[in-house]
Amino acid sequence: MKNLTTLVITLGLVFGAGLACDKFKGTTNDATPSNTSTNSNANKSNSATTNTAKSESKAPEKADFTVTAEEFDSEFYKKGVKSSDLEKYAKKNIAVSGRVSMLVTEKKGTTQPWVTLYAPGVLHGVSCYFDDDNVDQMKKLTMDKNAKVQGFMDDLIVPEVSPMLQHCVVLEGN
């Protein structure tokens, strides 16, 4: 019964966080390092490449950080951690590896399908949300098996709350 209660609370928090994140959306997350340029000719070239690439399947951008789920989660729960300590992750692509501890392959209302990579503790782990175009990649994932997922960390970073990545892709799975 205790495990069921914990599961219900966890799902409620995840769904609530997903809904809250949707309310903060209003701009797109195109400000990744590889999408920015100061040269106007490069901008024109990048725009053409980006528009073409959206219609094709493309490899994920190079990760700005590569960490394990346990390392990443522990930074968010480090004693005395502040938002400023975690700003280095804002608007970055992050590759995370770990054991799949939760796998939800169907969209629930406005909450995208997601996978949680394990970190010790109740309500801990890295939640990785997939866009509609990338949901099929989740077939590569299996409960309790190791995986590597890459996603985008927006600038809504909250200390003492497990990290969430958006626009995820599977890099490695079973």
Q: What is the pTM of this model?
A: 0.67
* pLDDT value of position 112: 94
The DSSP symbol for 91 reads T
Domain boundaries, the chain: 2-172
* Mean pLDDT score, 116-126: 93
Pairing of strands 126-129, 164-172: parallel
CATH of domain 2-172: 2.40.50.140
pLDDT in tens, 80-91: 999 999 999 999
Mean pLDDT of all residues in 51-60: 49
Give the mean model confidence (pLDDT) for residues 96-104: 96
